[in-house]
Amino acid sequence: MPQLSVLPLTGLLFLLSSVLGSEVSVPYPVTCTTRGADLTQDTVVVLCPPQCTQWRMSVFGTGVYAAVSSICGAAVHRGILGPAGGPVRVHRLQGRHNYISSYAHGIHSQALSHWTASFSLTSRWSHFEPINVPQELISETSTTALPAAARPVKKLLKKPSVKKALAGGNKDCQMDIAMVIDSSSNIGQRRFNLQKNFIAKLAAMLRVGPIGPHIGLIQASDSPRTEFLLTNYTQPKELLFAIKELAYLGGDSNTGKAIMHTAETFFSQENGGRRGHPRVMMVLIDGWPSDDLDQAAMLARESGINVFLVSVAKPAPEELSMVRDKDFMKKAVCKDNGFFSYPIPSWFSTTKHIRPLIQRLCSLDGLLCSKTCYNSVNIGFLIDGSSSVGDGNFQLVLEFLAGIARSFEISDVGAHIGAVQFTYEQRLEFGLSDYSNKDDAINALRRISYMSGGTSTGSAISYTTQNLFRRTGPGRNFLIVVTDGQSYDDVRGPAMAAHKQGITIFSVGVAWAPLDDLKAMSSEPKDSHTFFTREFSGLSEFVPLVVRGICKDFTENN
């Protein structure tokens, strides 16, 4: 009798199908970078190759992933795929808002404000022993090393002589800037050198430094190539030398590929991206791109990246028939309002355009795509410290609020949080501008000491409105009220006054908190701004709902 271990894969799957029915099918082999958007079936079993954990895979979301994510990367993040690879079941879902970032199983997924399609994952063989899939089925898709384009490494350049390190930088331009330059056959060696001179002058005037702008560079060709990351060169002379040493590549001008490559991982913290700092992508094109820009530009926008397109030597009328998409400039930029598009007639007349271009790149108010809910909101926490809460439950409240805070990019130029504790009295624990670092802000939140006393929620709302928030645009100020009982004073009047000042209130009740009071405090629509749980241990379930609600309100008002 033959052993099961030597049966062909099809025979093995046939035996399983007799148990599972027609649901079992031969897994479809994919690569480590295959995206959810590449699949056409609503439910399909894919076969991820081994060693995907060695790849730099793009993953957006937690539990539910944006379709632009790597399937195998999401499976690793979800915890259903290990280094050996294997089958995974993929379920296509509708698009959604506010994919939440998280770190799990060695993968740091990224936040995304919106995407047109999603997917979720389950383990294919969850009810059976692991199956050894024959190597011949996966040999074409497996790999153990990163390709050059996906493995940006600091080049070992000959260092220029620098007598004294230049500290600081232009503090009025604290941006993370990715320069995507044209290295295609279209531009040619001569114009490529002119392009290098242009970006070198631009970089010199930007004045990079630890507290100024950081610059990284990607070349667009057949495949994108990362030349250096944001933190590789933070001194002007080193940066200019690195630009001087750039080698011309040739090939097609696949600008869409380069934008996608840059949007996926270039600005991650692992690659030197700074929390809360505006992300800028300056794309230079000689003539027109060889590929489509739509999907790549959408990902960049939804990731909070401000794409500027500098088009040099636009197509002549007789060349327009060769341009795949005549509206490529409008589609590529952050917003089609003229601010993000910058045409230059010729590579021989670029110098006069450097200063006006820098003014745009460093204009914080003009960088509209940076303003996502994650980095543009002020969140106040109004915390019930009354005797009925108790010290142990008070710690659960603080952990709940820390979970909300953790979802936002807290920095001096990003999101801000502040906290007020109340009983009959009020105590400002810390203000919105007291902490410009996420870890420090969350630690301060966790260190709040329990007051104990009565419950005057209405007075606390009035105090917070007057002492914590400052006036900003609509949809920017949010107040999370957490209470476990009935207030001894009126909450309706103070809440209405806060609403009129542009403060959006989410009310979270526990135990004996009356639903009428909670709804009286919360903003419209009441049902989506009001939460209630019988037990303090149930607060953690509200974290993603509150974060999603904040982002929905911000998006609708901005």
DSSP letter string, 131-157: ----HHHHTTT--SS--GGG------P
CA–CA dist 39, 69 (Å, integer) = 12
What is the token pair recorded at 30? 């994919």
Distance of CA 448 to the CA centre of its chain: 30
Q: Is residue 164 part of a domain?
A: no
Report which of 409, 436, 408 is spatially closest to residue 544, judged by C-alpha positions: 408
437-482 residue pLDDT tens: 899 999 999 999 999 999 999 999 999 999 998 765 555 899 999 9
Using DSSP, state whether 98 is helix, strand or coil: strand
Complete DSSP assignment for 385-400:
--TTT-HHHHHHHHHH
- In single-letter form, the type of residue at position 198 comes to F
364 and 384 together in one domain:
no
C-alpha 16/C-alpha 7 separation (Å) is: 12
What confidence score (pLDDT) does residue 324 get? Answer: 64
Decide if 232 is inside a domain: yes
Task: Judge if 503 and 412 occupy the same domain.
Answer: yes
DSSP 8-state secondary structure symbol assigned to residue 105 = T
The pLDDT assigned to 116 comes to 80
Same-domain status, 342 and 384: no
Q: Is the model's pTM score more than 0.75? A: no
User: Per the domain annotation, does 338 fall within a domain?
Assistant: yes
In a domain, 140, yes or no: yes
Whether residue 392 is found in the same domain as residue 495: yes
pLDDT, position 318? 58
- pLDDT for 124 equals 65
In a domain, 529, yes or no: yes
Q: How far is CA 458 from the centre of its chain?
A: 37
Burial (CB count <10 Å: 0-12, 13-18, 19+), residue 136? exposed
Residue 185 sits in the same domain as residue 284: yes
Q: What is the extent of the structural domain holding 232?
A: 150-157+169-368
Pick the last residue of a domain from 368, 402, 430: 368
Q: Residue 380: which H helix or E strand, with range? A: strand 378-384
* Chain segment 351-371, per-residue pLDDT in tens: 999 999 999 999 877 787 877
Q: Which DSSP letter does residue 27 get?
A: P
Buried b (16+ CB within 10 A) or exposed e, 469-506: beeeeebbbbbbbbbbbebebebeebbeebbeeebbbb
What is the total residue count of the chain? 558
- Note whether 519 and 392 are same-domain residues: yes
Preceding peptide of 525 cis, ω within 30°: yes
The count of domains in the chain is 3
CATH of the domain at 85: 2.170.130.20
Q: Write the CATH number for 465.
A: 3.40.50.410
DSSP 263: I
Boundary of a domain, candidates 368, 396, 412: 368
- Residue 224: how many CA atoms within 13 Å on its side-chain side? 27
Q: Are residues 271 and 315 in the same domain?
A: yes
Same domain? 255 vs 305: yes
Burial group, residue 239, by CB count within 10 angstroms (0-12, 13-18, 19+): buried
Compute the distance between CA of residue 185 and CA of residue 251 in angstroms, rounded to an integer: 5
Burial (CB < 10 A; 0-12, 13-18, 19+), residue 441, is buried
Give a yes or no: residue 297 inside a domain: yes
Q: Looking at the structure, do residues 14 and 103 belong to the same domain, yes or no?
A: yes
- Rounded Cα distance between 216 and 233, Å, is 8
pLDDT at 399: 97
Report the pLDDT value the prediction gives residue 159, as an integer from 0 to 100.
40
Q: Is residue 250 part of a domain?
A: yes
Structure tokens at 174: 């604290």
Does residue 175 share a domain with residue 141? Answer: no
Supply the pLDDT for residue 113: 76
Give the pLDDT score at 257: 92
Residue recorded with tokens 């939804």:
302
Residues 401 and 498 in one domain: yes
Q: Take residue 446 and report the two structure tokens written for it.
A: 């966790």
pLDDT in tens, the chain (558 residues): 444 444 444 443 443 343 334 444 578 888 888 888 888 889 999 999 888 877 777 888 999 999 888 999 999 999 998 888 899 999 999 888 888 888 888 888 888 877 888 999 998 654 433 333 333 333 333 333 333 333 444 444 444 333 333 458 888 899 999 999 999 998 899 999 999 999 999 999 999 998 899 999 999 999 999 999 999 998 898 999 999 999 999 998 899 899 999 998 899 888 999 877 889 999 999 877 888 888 888 888 888 899 999 988 776 665 556 666 667 777 788 888 888 889 999 888 899 999 999 999 998 777 878 777 888 899 999 999 999 999 999 999 999 999 999 999 898 778 899 999 999 999 999 999 899 889 999 999 999 999 999 999 999 999 999 999 876 555 589 999 999 999 999 999 999 999 999 999 999 999 999 999 999 999 999 999 999 999 999 999 999 999 999 998 987 887
Sequence letter at residue 284: L
398 and 352 in a common domain? no
Q: Work out the end-to-end distance of the chain between its first and last CA atoms, rounded to an integer number of angstroms.
A: 70
Asked which of 345, 368, 391 is the last residue of a domain, the reply is: 368
- H-assigned helices in 216-375: 236-244, 255-261, 294-302, 328-332, 354-361
The two three-digit tokens of residue 247, written as one number: 């080698």
Exposed / middle / buried, residue 392 (Cβ in 10 Å: 0-12, 13-18, 19+): exposed
Greatest Cα pair distance, the chain, in angstroms, is 83
- Please report where in the chains the tokens 């037990």 appear, as a residue: 535
The answer to whether residue 163 sits within a structural domain is: no
Nearest to 448 by CA among 465, 458, 462, 434: 434
Cα separation, 507 vs 169, whole angstroms: 43
Burial of 117 (0-12, 13-18, 19+ CB in 10 A): middle
Chain centroid to CA 36: how far?
A: 18
